[in-house]
Structure 1
């Protein structure tokens, strides 16, 4: 097997068409051409051709992955899924991911930390929901546990997040807060108490949907809606 011609591709001059024994064999990027030092007249074994074309696919997959990362951070699983969907082989995907890990361009633990911090700042959630979100993104279990320990070092931390979220919800969707409950007639008071109970249920349901456990939700309701606090206001 002898390289009989190397010529630039018309639409992609940075790529070269390689002809073996007078026939087109494969196309490669200039990077691959230089890496293997290919020249007209070189003798190639079938194994060498496989090595060259495998490296070309790796180079292409690496370029695709870098473009994806340039748009936004991604987990290893998200990148692998994208590359496989594009048509790259499992072997190429693993080779690309290994290269990116070595270059510190992907790090699932760092991604999980950033995701958790940004999510909890933007819209707090309970430990259960955060764990579910991280699993959905393909974060390894050991990294998930590390992040959960950092974000929820104690029960009081989850309570703090729940209180923050409940107060945001209360301010945005209700005029039923402690300071608004002043002296009313008996009928008005009963009506307000009914509305208050409904509002407490909505807040409770919302917190549960955000991944907080019932014990935390109960403590939040006690903190915000307790009769003593309302009467003091």
Structure 2
């Protein structure tokens, strides 16, 4: 059983090496390994998770911060959708709330919240906007609203971005 523990620990570390993982993701991964070998051993699973925590490979707070950062840089999404993704990854609701109100994601009470949200919305819209340039203004607004809404941005932010896009279109 000790060999199996070592094998699973190494396999888990390899799994984590590709990108940070939440505890839920690692438990799911290990669960599949247990099923494959027809083993049902909760204490062994807990022992592996405990060891990964000791090595600081499993840290939901760091994972959540990383996830928010990745979403802001590579695939801009609104605060609401990122919170939903974190919950789906097994991140505790309280930690999600903390992440949404931290420096990683400025809260609505801070001045730069609007700038951050609008900037992310504009960034998300950059590639799509050229596809909709030829559309009538109303149709373009609908497309933008739907696209940004599905990306998790709130209506207020979407409205300001639409106004900005329309103003730019009128100026050109």
TM-score normalised per structure 2 = 0.81
Instruction: Give how far 1:58 is off.
Output: 3.0
User: Which is richer in strand?
Assistant: 1
Counterpart for residue 104 of structure 1: 56
Flag structure 2 segments of 5+ consecutive residues without an equivalent.
Answer: none
Deviations along 1:152-201, whole A, 9 cap, x unmatched? Answer: 31431212211222234213x1334xxxxxxxxxxxxxxx7xx1211111
Matches of 1:175 and 1:121, distance apart in 2: 25
Q: Which has the higher contact order (CA 8 A, sep 6+)?
A: 2
Counterpart for residue 75 of structure 1: 22
Residue 219 of structure 1, aligned match among 148, 160, 163: 160
Matches of 1:70 and 1:152, distance apart in 2: 26
Residue 175 of structure 1, aligned match among 133, 138, 153: 133
- 2:125 is the counterpart of 1:166: yes
User: Which is richer in helix?
Assistant: 2
Residue 7 of structure 2, aligned match among 60, 63, 66: 60
Matches of 2:170 and 2:85, distance apart in 1: 40
Larger Rg computed on CA atoms: 1
Aligned length: 160
Counterpart for residue 141 of structure 1: 93
Counterpart for residue 206 of structure 1: 147
